Structure 1
Amino acid sequence: MSNTKGNKRGPNVAAKDTPSWLTTAANSIHLFSSVLGLVLPYGIRLLRLRITTIYHTFTYKAIDSPKNIVVVGGSFAGIHVANWLANAVPTGYRVVLVEKNSHFNYLFAFPRYAVVTGYEQGAFIPYENILSGAIKKGSLLHIHEKASGVTPSQVLLADGQAIDYAYLIVATGSSQPPPAKMASTGREGACDELHKLQRGVAEASRIAVLGSGAVGVEMAADIKTYFPDKSVTLFSSRDVVMPSFGPKLQLKVANILESIGVTIRYNARPQTLPGSKMIQLQDRSTEEYDLVLSCTGQNPNSGILSTFLPEVISKQTGRILVKPTLQLQPAGDSAFPNIFALGDVAEHGGPRMARAVHVQAGIVRDNILELIKGRSPSHEYSPQRWIEGSIQMTVGKDQALGYIPGDNSKDVLFTLAAYPDDFRIAHGWRLLGAKYPGRPRPN
């Protein structure tokens, strides 16, 4: 594995894994039970939601001045809780989804679309396609605007409007630089950002990728497998790649990166120098690249509560402090049981993964329905890392992995079919209840 002077060597990627037939059988059984554990609870939840939706269709009546359940943020957390609540609220209530982006951003595809051209419009899904079921029943209103603040009874919008709320759900997520997320709130502007990244990759000879999480690994591997002649260096701040996951995944990913020619620099936390393509290492030495891609860290978008309830924002992480019910964690006299937070913006103790969002959305939905009925919230979020912390990821255009974490070295790693150039975007649309119109014809 490539390394440099002063950098601690990473994992022993040369170690061989040659299990006996008994170990292989045990692993297969564990894999089957783990997958069943992933699918069964999700299937039961969907069946329950389906039954509730059918009942709601026949009982819900739209009225002129309903009480609002406002959801701020329309990414994975926001759309799930908005849809699920809109299909269950009683007459007299309405869900209002406030989202600054014109389209839903399918973030999983961004690293691939920052390298491969021609598919980028598919990463932006019209909200009406996702929310159409609830809109027809009049139980959901979608507002395309940025929320700028919150008061005890209203959500303030950037255009000067204010929305009254009976319940508030903060699902504002986190911010990251491209390629993880785009800065533009419109589809065309975001596609332009992806085009700029594509041109930068195509024109560069020496590329540095800062950060060895899933986004950094996928970017480095895609660049190297689509452009084998380019020099790609991946910088990890730890002595492993994929530091948030277990050793099986770390070793496998490092092996693949080495095999395709990506240089990995461990225990390196370089800083980009403003106005240049130079990076500076801890020893103050500098290196120059044709392109530097930052794939590090997440900054929680908790600012919406910073004026109203600054005490519920963690001074250590910047995330919103919540109870197991996902209601705000009260500080002093600032108890607001009608305000919830979930997803990346909340300090819930669980994985920051899409599957965790599914579980949290169900918790918030059920607790708000109980509050509407005059009951105390009884549903609590208890992270199940082996379910919610699982991941599917690509490591270049020819390899993909599935991983399910587990205790006592019982984590499961398996190989998946390679993702095509379009990153299976039609499947992504279907998962969100939308129909993919197909790849646009080139001009």
Structure 2
Amino acid sequence: MALKDTVLTSARPFRVMVIGGSYGGLSTALNLWDLTQARLPRFNYAYDGPAPTERIPIQTTIVDERDGYYHLIGSPKSLICEKLATASWTRFKDIPALASPHFKIVRGRVTNIDCAAKVAHVLDTATGSILAESYDFLVVASGVRRTYPVVPQSSCRTDFLQEASKHSSQVRKASDVAIIGGGAVGVEMAAELKMLVPDQRVTLIHSRDRLLSSEPLPDEVAQQVLATLLEDGVEVILSQRVISTTRIDDAAEDHAWRLTLSDGRELVTGHVLNAISRCVPTSEYLPGRALDDHGYVKVQPSLQFAGDIPNPEHHYAIGDIASWPGIKRCGGAMHMGHYCALNIHQQMLALCRGGNPKYKTLVPSPPVIGLALGRKAVSYTPAEGVRHGEDLSKTLFGDDMANQSCRDYLKLSEACQQVP
């Protein structure tokens, strides 16, 4: 066994490419950095045993279309609360945990992955040129695309703040707002808006007979969410599809839109927010054999690719883009990133000193959810059932939609330190 602080040698540092700098991607990169520096990973709750005894040379490249880390959990509120918006986007160059030459940040879009050659082709935003980046391990964490206003469409912090300011101004000046879609985003959007602009009439319209109809959750969850919205003054229309949305050009601003429902009713409102967003996996750069019928990456319980591709053991997929059962959640993405880091580290150890990797394997988790509904929250786990209330909101989300707790969990504010 190597002595403490021994550096395992290889022909060169291991090259790790992480596509996506959100919860899952940063979880992988930062936990792997800890492990290769002979430290316990920052998510050490699932690490079996003491800290590693050897350091491993590593170079990590993070590719993202955005110029920074965006706190997606807070999106329903940050687009209408400029104070929260300011804190929800941090440029990668301003994150102390990444401030090291061992981390290379490329703002760009991956156009193609050659799994056999282990080369990623990246369209660099700054230069407009295509970069050919070689890697030893690839982590796909680019997630899914969602439309505005479910998530912002900006790719840099400056544009995002302008987008949020414009959106907030448009929404707040309307006397009433209609929100189409009663999924997780829609119910949070309605509740947050009603809290921030209490005099505004907020109407939530959903085509099914219960809210959260696309999630595999007990009816009690939807019932509690509905009760919470109604208690706080949100008007809810169920079992009605919006057939058409028409701009009324000659009307006052507070009566600018006419919505026609499937039962023939017409609603006139000052502003319309569409919370229906079909998630589209950002997997077009991967070979088709790596994907399922819906474009998600097929993975093994080790999170390595399960498709018929070259070198599947050196390719990982985590977070929303992975074809894995359960509700897509930011917490789940960070958990997957942690396991991914543990498994890549095991492979590095095996390549340096021989032996076989001891993989951590993910097991499907039961459906769980936590929803921020204004000053209240609703959560569900099989063990605890349905919980709700203001105290729960403080526990789960604090006063910033869990922004600081996620940053603390990832230890983004701690300087990147290399063991001497």
TM bin, normalised by shorter chain, reads 0.7 to 0.9
State the match for 2:335 in structure 1.
359
Name the structure 2 match of 1:297: 277
Q: Which residue of 2 aligns with 1:319?
A: 296
User: How far apart, in 2, do the equivalents of 1:165 and 1:181 lie?
Assistant: 31
Q: Shift in Å at residue 347 of structure 1?
A: 0.6
Specify whether residues 128 and 173 from structure 1 end up closer, same or farther in structure 2 by C-alpha distance, changes over 3 A only. same
CA distance in 2, matches of 1:219, 1:356: 22
Out of 236-245 and 318-327, give the one that drifted further: 236-245
One-letter amino acid of the counterpart of residue 100, structure 1? E
- Which residue in the other structure is 1:204 paired with? 174
Where 1:378 maps in the other structure, the secondary structure is: coil
Structure-2 change in CA distance of 1:179 and 1:428 (3 Å): farther
5 Å matches for 1:225-240? 225-240=195-210
Offset at 1:324? 1.7
- Go from structure 1 to structure 2 and tell me whether the alpha carbon gap of 1:68 and 1:272 turns closer, same or farther (over 3 Å shift): farther
For 1:247, the aligned partner's letter is D
TM superposition shift of 1:69: 1.1
1:224 aligns with 2:194: yes
Determine if contact 1:325/1:381 at 8 Å carries over to the other structure: yes
Distance 1:175 1:102 in 2: 16
Q: CA deviation at 1:256?
A: 1.6
- Give the secondary structure class of the aligned counterpart of 1:296: coil
**Matched residue, 2:47:** none
1:146 aligns with 2:109: yes
Q: Secondary structure of 1:337's partner?
A: helix
Counterpart in the other structure of 2:236: 264
Asked if the contact 1:210–1:296 (Cα under 8 Å) also holds between the matched residues in 2, the reply is yes
| SS of residue paired to 1:382 | coil
**Structure 2 CA distance, aligned partners of 1:288 and 1:82?**
49
- How far apart are the structure 2 equivalents of 1:74 and 1:141? 12
Please state if 1:399 is matched with 2:379: no
Return the letter of the residue paired with 1:221.
A
CA shift, 1:105, in A, is 0.3
Match of 1:34 in 2: none
Q: Residues 100, 64 of structure 1: CA spacing in aligned structure 2 closer, same or farther, 3 A cutoff?
A: farther
User: What pairs up with 1:90-129 in 2 under 5 angstroms?
Assistant: 91-129=56-94
| Gap change, CA 1:305 and 1:337, over 3 Å in 2 | farther
Q: Residue type of the partner of 1:299?
A: C
Question: What SS does the aligned partner of 1:365 have?
Answer: helix
Say if 1:267 and 1:188 are closer, same or farther in 2 by CA, change over 3 A. same
Return 5+ residue gaps in structure 2 as ranges: 37-54, 125-129, 249-256, 415-420
The answer on whether the counterparts of 1:110 and 1:180 sit within 8 Å (CA) in structure 2 is yes
Matched, 1:329 2:306: yes
* RMSD, aligned α-carbons: 3.0
C-alpha contact 1:112 1:219 (8 A) present in aligned 2: yes
Deviations 1:279-299 (A, max 9, x none): 454568765432221222342
- Write the distance in 2 (CA, Å) between the matches of 1:83 and 1:428: 13
Q: What is the rounded CA distance, in whole Å, between the counterparts of 2:138 and 2:192 in structure 1?
A: 40
Shift of residue 185, structure 1, vs aligned partner: 0.7
Partner residue in 1 for 2:408: 430
Q: TM-score, normalised by structure 2?
A: 0.77
SS at structure 1 position matched to 2:313 = coil
Query: Do the aligned partners of residues 272 and 64 (structure 1) sit closer, same or farther apart at CA in structure 2, a change above 3 Å counting?
Result: farther
Q: Confirm or deny: 8 A CA contact 1:246 1:405 kept in the other structure.
A: no
Residues 342, 279 of structure 1: alpha-carbon distance in 2 compared, 3 angstrom cutoff: farther
Change in Cα spacing, 1:135 to 1:59, as seen in structure 2 (3 Å) is: farther
CA deviations 1:12-63 (Å, max 9, x no partner) are xxxxxxxxxxxxxxxxxxxxxxxxxxxxxxxxxxxxxxxxxxx7xx445899
Greater RCO (CA < 8 Å, at least 6 residues apart): 2
- Give the CA deviation at 1:416: 4.0
CA contact (8 A) 1:209 1:294 kept: yes
Query: 1:219 and 1:193, CA in 2 relative to 1: closer, same or farther beyond 3 A?
Result: same
1:343 pairs with 2:306 = no
Cα distance in 2, alignment partners of residues 434 and 336 from structure 1: 30
* Percent of aligned pairs sharing the same letter: 21
Question: 1-side partners of 2:247 and 2:58: how far apart?
Answer: 51
Match of 2:346 among 367, 370, 375: 370
- Label 1:169 to 1:121 Cα distance change in 2 as closer, same or farther (>3 A): same
Shift of 1:240: 1.6
Does the residue aligned with 1:181 lie in a helix, a strand or coil?
A: coil
Which residues of structure 1 form unaligned runs of 5+?
1-54, 437-443
1:76 aligns with 2:23: yes
1:247 correspondence with 2:219: yes
